[in-house]
Amino acid sequence: MTSITPPKPMSGFPELLPAQQLVFNRCLDIVRRTFERFGFAPIETPAVERKEVLTAKGGNEKEIYALSRLAAGPGEDAETDYALHFDLTVPLARYVAQHKDKLVFPFRRYQIQKVWRGERPQAGRYRELYQCDIDVIGRGSVSLLADAELPSVIYHVFREMNIGHFVIRVNNRRLLQGFLDLAGVPTDRVGDVLHTVDAWEKIGRAAVAQALINKVGLNETLTERILAFLSSSQGKPTDAVLDDLRRQVTTSQAEQHDFGRGVQELQTVVEGMRSLGVPEDYFEIDLSIARGLDYYTGTVYETRLTAYPDLGSICSGGRYDDLASFFTNEKLPGVGISIGLSRLVLRLLDVGVLQPGPATPAVVLVTTMDQAHMQDYFKLGAALREGNVATEIFLERARLGDQLKYASRKGFRFAVIAGEDEFAADQVKLKDLATATEQVIPRAQLVAHVLSLLNS
């Protein structure tokens, strides 16, 4: 007997059993189908990019996995130029810059792929995870209606996924920057303030205030004024927030200022979201959402599951002025949003909001109690598959009882049972494994019968 090495789980690299995998795949399908229904085209980029591409866009080098070959021939280098992508935005920028003359703009793409991050594994943090991104990219400009459309896509995704109530929170970075400017924050501190504010949900209001005073160097009055503004949208209806904002714009005569323009943008996006069918109780304006990335220049989004606020944002994004400035001088503005699917689905499986079902995608098991009739079982299976009913034929030799036990353990909905007597009478038995009831059906009607049960 050779020595064996029992497999060890790989921390931070999630892996599912078939029943959970089927749930995960169903969620992936919903995302994909919805993205396509809104006219987003799929692209897929390699798992790797050149190292300099990933580091230039501000990637954290400690979290980037580089590739080297385990061995190299004489005179060869085991090192490679490549590292695994840590998000789908950097690859998108490279893709659009590289292929822009073959793409039609506005370019509406979706991308559902794994990304890798060399994080220390901890609860809810993964080293390998799925992201599902949509972006609309223009050559020169993109309508603000695109900013409104993305939340409507997301709304449909999460509704169909049936994961409970959620709120898409919207804000506008231009508005925030404008407000900070009017309030007297020096231009070179605006970025720092927004970075600090971005941690609000994690560290709380008091800690943000501390950081603004001690780290960013604002005085207490200014800090209080900022925090009061950022929290002024809390618990208020959207229109009341917009009314407030417009009043402040008028008062400060800031119509042409970033503050006024940001408020106007936010209002346009909110109106667009309503027109595009996002119900009032599934979105809100949240002035405290800053998104840490300097990259964003207008609309920003975050999304929370109402019952699981500690999950953090399950879907975030925003508008950017220039997607691919590292690669091209051509201005490519756009807006994008990304679902962190692995964290979401794995957590919801964990807490039972999503429930694993069968361990097989097949709904029917054709049992094979009589070896002399294998040809008949094959024909029954083929007919069911022909009718688009996912079907397994039991191919091993086993007693019928064991076959039915197998069917129950895998979670088939129906078992087809037939022996000498049934075949002689041109019939089959159809057993509903959940209710343990049997029906005798003319053989020729099996497929239609199963289909009608599945559709009812």
Question: Judged by CB under 8 A, does residue 106 bind a copy of itself?
Answer: yes
The distance of Cα 44 from the centroid of its chain, to the nearest Å, equals 15
Alpha carbon distance 454, 456 (integer Å): 6
Residue 21 vs 248, nearer CB to a copy of itself: 21
Shortest separation between residue 278's beta carbon and a copy of itself, angstroms: 11
Alpha helices in 217-312 (DSSP H): 220-230, 238-251, 258-275
Of the candidates 327, 373, 400, 453, which one interacts with a copy of itself according to CB under 8 A?
327
Site of tokens 């220390």: 120
- Nearest Cα to Cα of residue 321 among 294, 292, 340: 294
Q: How many CB atoms lie within 10 A of CB 18?
A: 15
Site of tokens 């949003």: 337
Q: Could you tell me how many residues of this chain bind a copy of itself (CB under 8 A)?
A: 110
The distance of Cα 156 from the centroid of its chain, to the nearest Å, equals 12
Q: Which of residues 344-373 bind a copy of itself (CB under 8 A)?
A: 359-362, 365
- Going by the DSSP 8-state scheme, the letter that residue 125 receives in this structure is B
- CA count, 13 A, side-chain hemisphere, 152: 18
12 to 51: interface string for a copy of itself, x by CB under 8 A: -xxxxxx--xx-xx----------xxxxxxxxxxxxxxxx
What values do phi and psi take at 449, rounded to 5?
A: -65, -45
What amino acid is encoded at 170 in this protein? V
Alpha carbon distance 143, 212 (integer Å): 35
Alpha carbon distance 239, 8 (integer Å): 55
Shortest separation between residue 254's beta carbon and a copy of itself, angstroms: 26
Between strands 414-417 and 427-432, the pairing is: antiparallel
With beta carbons less than 8 A apart as the criterion, state whether 450 and 430 touch: yes
* Range in contact with a copy of itself (rule: CB under 8 A) among 97-105, 177-185, 193-201, 413-421: 97-105
Shortest separation between residue 445's beta carbon and a copy of itself, angstroms: 20
Q: Which of residues 217-256 bind a copy of itself (CB under 8 A)?
A: none
Question: Judged by CB under 8 A, does residue 69 bind a copy of itself?
Answer: yes
Question: Judged by CB under 8 A, does residue 433 bind a copy of itself?
Answer: no
Question: Judged by CB under 8 A, does residue 302 bind a copy of itself?
Answer: no
Of the candidates 57, 85, 108, 261, which one interacts with a copy of itself according to CB under 8 A?
108
Residue 139 vs 449, nearer CB to a copy of itself: 139
Site of tokens 């009017």: 182
Residue 118 vs 213, nearer CB to a copy of itself: 118
* Range in contact with a copy of itself (rule: CB under 8 A) among 92-100, 163-171, 182-190, 424-432: 92-100
Q: Which of residues 115-144 bind a copy of itself (CB under 8 A)?
A: 116, 118, 128, 136, 138, 141-143
Residue 218 vs 433, nearer CB to a copy of itself: 433
Q: Which of residues 146-205 bind a copy of itself (CB under 8 A)?
A: 146, 149
Question: Judged by CB under 8 A, does residue 53 bind a copy of itself?
Answer: yes
Q: Which of residues 328-347 bind a copy of itself (CB under 8 A)?
A: 328-329
Of the candidates 57, 109, 319, 347, which one interacts with a copy of itself according to CB under 8 A?
109
Residue 149 vs 284, nearer CB to a copy of itself: 149
Of the candidates 236, 257, 331, 385, which one interacts with a copy of itself according to CB under 8 A?
385
Alpha carbon distance 135, 36 (integer Å): 13
Q: How many CB atoms lie within 10 A of CB 125?
A: 12
Spatial strand order of the sheet with 414-417 comes to 391-393, 364-366, 414-417, 427-432, 437-442
Q: How many CB atoms lie within 10 A of CB 41?
A: 13
Q: Which of residues 71-90 bind a copy of itself (CB under 8 A)?
A: 71-73, 76, 80, 82-84
- Nearest Cα to Cα of residue 269 among 323, 324, 335: 335
* Range in contact with a copy of itself (rule: CB under 8 A) among 64-72, 231-239, 278-286, 294-302: 64-72
Question: Judged by CB under 8 A, does residue 374 bind a copy of itself?
Answer: yes
264 to 283: interface string for a copy of itself, x by CB under 8 A: -----------xxx------
Of the candidates 31, 57, 58, 70, which one interacts with a copy of itself according to CB under 8 A?
70
What amino acid is encoded at 406 in this protein? Y
Question: Judged by CB under 8 A, does residue 320 bind a copy of itself?
Answer: no
Question: Judged by CB under 8 A, does residue 97 bind a copy of itself?
Answer: yes
Taking the CA atoms of the chain, what radius of gyration do you get in angstroms?
28
399 to 418: interface string for a copy of itself, x by CB under 8 A: -------x--xx--------
- Nearest Cα to Cα of residue 43 among 105, 101, 91, 115: 91
Alpha carbon distance 267, 345 (integer Å): 32
Shortest separation between residue 39's beta carbon and a copy of itself, angstroms: 3
Residue 10 vs 240, nearer CB to a copy of itself: 10
Sign of the dihedral through C-alpha 174, 176, 181, 182: positive
What values do phi and psi take at 151, rounded to 5?
A: -60, -30
H or E segment to which residue 303 belongs: strand 296-305
Of the candidates 267, 297, 299, 391, which one interacts with a copy of itself according to CB under 8 A?
391
Question: Judged by CB under 8 A, does residue 454 bind a copy of itself?
Answer: no
